[in-house]
């Protein structure tokens, strides 16, 4: 597992974490390149930790891996384009389809929200407004990895509240780090359902909150990993409790087609049965901001600017 945590602006540090022992720290730039002597003075340091036994002896290995990964992503994008063509072909029937889906979704949400956890439920109890104590209970439950999913009524409530919040947000978020209200801003790249990575980042950098750092999650929270539901639920819960401390950009994996191809839809279906809960997640995806501007200096976006 390899991921990168960036702390930009006044207290900028980029940390690349690699599993295992016997590693070393070395200054690096983007994608592991040596740090340029002429780097921006507002970017104070960039450090990577890579275990000795996992350091590539030939940069061609890294390039090959990146090319294969990019090729796989391109295949998925092409599949999405094919799906768009099918969407156009059935456009005449979309109003009735949308009406049926809305009715099914409303029925599911109403039933799930009104269903109370039974005596056999051992997960955290959540009510609204969500409090920091409930958030701590949710965090501890997920960290314990008991295998008990959050009750469907609680998850529906969190997704509904998240959707209400993001419906009010602009497509480009603006945030500041120079005001001094937070210790720093931590920008987190693709987590892809790796809950332990998220917990490690929190432990290393501090938990989000008024006296802790701000966090910007730069997309691709789910797919590939097995704990996407727990990871995104925890991030959304933090966003609900501390809306000014947690920011989320939409990545290409916050979409229906990618979730179908890379496993998140299967994960949600396995944990909660049916596809209605997955539909609630996708409705949150559709409202996520696309980019974040930090201190009118840095523009953070998941996959770059649009081609057209």
How many angstroms separate the CA atoms of 130 and 111, rounded?
21
DSSP 233-294: HHHHHHHHH-TTTEEEE--TTSSHHHHHHHSHHHHHHHHHSSSHHHHHHHHHHTTS-SEEEE
Query: Domain map of the chain by residue range?
Result: 98-308
Indicate the burial class of 289 (C-beta count within 10 angstroms; 0-12, 13-18, 19 or more).
middle
CB 21 within 8 A of CB 50: no
Hey, is 126 helix, strand or coil?
A: coil
Burial 266-281 (b: 16+ CB within 10 A, else e): ebbeebbeeebbbbbb
Question: Which residue is catalytic, options 151, 154, 192, 253?
Answer: 253
CA angle, corner 304, sides to 71 and 290, nearest 5? 115
Tokens of 50: 């890579």
CA distances from 21 to 13, 167, 253 (A): 22, 44, 31
CATH number for the 98-308 domain, one of 3.40.50.10790, 3.60.15.10, 3.60.21.10, 3.90.78.10? 3.60.21.10
Q: Which pLDDT tens digits describe the chain residue by residue (308 residues)?
A: 333 444 444 333 333 333 333 333 333 333 334 433 443 334 333 334 445 555 556 788 888 878 887 777 777 667 666 666 655 655 555 455 455 555 555 565 566 666 778 888 999 999 989 999 999 999 999 999 999 999 999 999 999 999 999 999 999 999 988 776 787 899 999 999 999 999 999 999 999 999 899 999 999 999 999 999 999 999 999 999 999 999 999 999 999 989 999 999 999 999 998 888 999 999 999 999 999 999 999 999 998 887 77
How many angstroms separate the CA atoms of 127 and 134, rounded?
8
Tokens of 167: 């419906």
Residue with tokens 């980029």: 14
**Annotated catalytic, 253?**
yes
**This prediction's pTM:** 0.72
């Amino acid at each position: 597992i390899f991921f990168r945590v960036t702390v930009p602006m006044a207290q900028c540090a980029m940390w690349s974490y690699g599993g295992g022992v016997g590693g070393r720290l070395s200054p690096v730039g983007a994608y592991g390149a040596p740090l340029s002597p002429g780097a921006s003075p507002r970017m104070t340091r960039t450090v990577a930790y890579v275990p000795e036994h996992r350091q590539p002896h030939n940069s061609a290995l890294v390039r090959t891996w990146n090319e294969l990964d990019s090729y796989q992503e391109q295949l998925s994008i092409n599949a999405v384009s094919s799906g768009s063509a099918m969407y156009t072909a059935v456009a005449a029937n979309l109003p009735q389809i949308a009406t049926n889906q809305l009715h099914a979704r409303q029925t599911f949400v109403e039933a799930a929200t009104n269903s109370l956890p039974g005596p056999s439920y051992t997960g955290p109890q959540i009510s609204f407004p969500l409090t920091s104590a409930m958030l701590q209970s949710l965090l501890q439950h997920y960290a314990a990895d008991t295998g008990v999913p959050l009750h469907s009524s609680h998850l529906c409530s969190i997704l509904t509240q998240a959707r209400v919040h993001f419906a009010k947000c602009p497509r480009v978020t603006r945030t500041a780090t120079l005001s001094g209200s937070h210790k720093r801003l931590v920008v987190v790249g693709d987590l892809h359902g790796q809950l332990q990575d998220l917990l490690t980042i929190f432990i290393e950098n501090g938990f989000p909150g008024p006296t802790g750092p701000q966090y910007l999650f730069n997309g691709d929270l789910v797919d590939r990993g097995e704990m996407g539901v727990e990871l995104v639920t925890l991030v959304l819960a933090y966003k609900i409790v501390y809306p000014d401390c947690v920011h989320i950009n939409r990545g290409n994996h916050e979409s229906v087609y990618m979730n179908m191809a890379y496993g998140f839809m299967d994960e949600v279906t396995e944990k909660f049965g049916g596809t209605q809960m997955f539909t609630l997640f996708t409705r949150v995806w559709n409202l996520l901001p696309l980019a974040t501007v930090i201190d009118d200096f840095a523009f953070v976006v998941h996959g770059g600017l649009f081609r057209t």
